[in-house]
Amino acid sequence: MNQAVDESTAAGVDAVDVFAEPTARVRPGWTVSLSFATLAVFMAFMTPIQILLPLQLEHIDAADKNNALSLVTGLGALVAVVANPLAGALSDRTVSRFGRRRPWILGGALAGAVGLAVTAAQHTVLGVALGWCLAQAGLNAMLAGVTTPLADRVPVGQRAQVSGWTGIMQSLGLVLGALITTMLVTGVWSGYGLLALLTVALALPFVLRHPEPALPRALRPVFDARAFARTLWVSPRLHPDFGWAWLTRFLINLGNALGTLYLLYYLTDSVHYADPGTGVLILTVIYTLCAALTAIPVGVLSDRIGRRKPFVLACAVIMAGAALILAFLHSWTAAMAAAAVLGAGFGVYLAVDQALVTQVLPVAQDRAKDLGVINIANSGPQVLAPVVAAPIIAHLGGYTGLYLATALVTVVGGVLVRRVRGVA
């Protein structure tokens, strides 16, 4: 009996460590290591979408490159919709002595690297699609691991600042990926291969250097597939703040996906830029620099004043302004101006939105799964954007119509954040 009491007490102590709201501020080294792991995910995600997949598919089927890109990215995003919350739910139930998140970060990085290598070796649209789906499955398992430590370990008063650092890695990942695939290495295969290696290498500092509390076996919920499927629907009636935060993120990311998915083709077909691959790199550098200038200061300011929603609304208006520039001014100068404005707005979004969503999670025991559901609002637009964008370009005003749609959905998303009641 005494042994049972001791085990229960020990489990209770561990439960406090694992499930309680964090109060101790994280150190800079922890933030840097998590940022490196986040950089790995988004470099592996975004570089193929923006550069490698368009180039690969243009070589495979130049006449139907738009539809081929829509098919491949759409199927990959469908895999992401399932893989991210599934990996999150399994992470919440992982009782490894290495903790709940680190095994999924490393395992996801390895699986994602294999998927990138498989994608590189393909010579048909179907083969590219299958390889990219494999990469998406692994990378989304890794994403489930790198997004949850913010809620697990970072106190509310520090979250926007840490979110600013990890969030800017999304843009920096594309810049570094573009540099790798346009200057450091030549060829689609070598680009995929180096990305695969870096995905694993950048995950290792966080995995090896920063231990986390393990989940006691006595507290592990039983995983039931039917129950899990039901939990993918988080009732907006029971958890309205979670629902509105999800919808806000979905719409802002849909606007971002509509605006960026065809950027390489926009520079080619509308701006008539001589070297569109280099053009994408230049615009991405401008975008990232401007995002960095706003993300960290706004994160610090948001933590200091304890407010999130005004910043989300402001970023949506700024990003919509960038879309309007692209809609009406089809020139290289206008594209650079739009990149600067979009970067400034998205930097605000990166710092504040992730901090906001961690404050509306329903229960601590399901943090990774619920953040996986939130992350459907990131990957879901990648499914919907090609379906929406292709007919707009073909039948509703070309790129002008596309960027007007981008501005509209982004502003609507920003306005709806006002419906979140539990966060200022």
| pLDDT digit string, tens, across residues 284-303 | 889 889 998 999 999 999 99
Task: Report the alpha-carbon distance of residue 108 to residue 155 in Å, rounded.
Answer: 26
Tokens found for residue 306: 């304890």
- Count the Cβ atoms, other than its own, within 10 Å of residue 231: 17
Looking at residue 14, its pLDDT comes to 47
CA–centroid distance for 227 within its chain: 26
Q: Are 222 and 108 in contact (CB under 8 A)?
A: no
Looking at residue 252, its pLDDT comes to 92
Q: One-letter amino acid identity for 188?
A: V
Instruction: Calculate the CA dihedral of residues 275, 281, 282, 285 and round it to 10 degrees.
Output: 180
Q: Are 346 and 319 in contact (CB under 8 A)?
A: yes
Tens of pLDDT, residue by residue, the chain (424 residues):
333 333 333 333 344 577 888 889 999 999 999 999 999 999 998 899 878 999 999 999 988 888 898 899 889 988 988 899 999 989 998 999 999 999 999 999 999 999 999 999 999 999 999 999 999 999 999 999 999 999 999 999 999 999 999 988 987 887 888 888 878 887 899 999 999 999 999 999 999 999 998 888 888 877 677 776 776 677 788 899 999 999 999 999 899 888 877 888 899 999 999 998 788 878 888 988 999 899 999 999 999 999 999 999 999 999 999 999 999 999 999 999 999 999 999 899 888 998 999 999 988 888 999 998 888 888 778 778 878 888 898 888 889 999 999 999 999 999 999 999 989 8
How far CA 9 is from CA of 4, 6, 172, 211, 356, in Å, comes to 9, 5, 45, 22, 33
Looking at residue 404, its pLDDT comes to 95
Looking at residue 257, its pLDDT comes to 82
**Over the stretch 267-282, which tens digit does the pLDDT of each residue have?**
999 999 999 878 887 8
> Could you tell me the residue ranges of all domains in the chain?
27-208+232-419
pTM: 0.82
Class of the CATH-defined domain 27-208+232-419: mainly alpha
Map tokens 């399994």 to a residue: 90
Sign of CA dihedral 396, 257, 250, 404: negative
Q: Are 210 and 33 in contact (CB under 8 A)?
A: yes
Q: One-letter amino acid identity for 57?
A: L
Task: Report the alpha-carbon distance of residue 388 to residue 259 in Å, rounded.
Answer: 11
Task: Report the alpha-carbon distance of residue 20 to residue 18 in Å, rounded.
Answer: 6
- Count the Cβ atoms, other than its own, within 10 Å of residue 408: 15
Looking at residue 122, its pLDDT comes to 96
Task: Report the alpha-carbon distance of residue 267 to residue 273 in Å, rounded.
Answer: 5
Looking at residue 380, its pLDDT comes to 78
Looking at residue 3, its pLDDT comes to 37
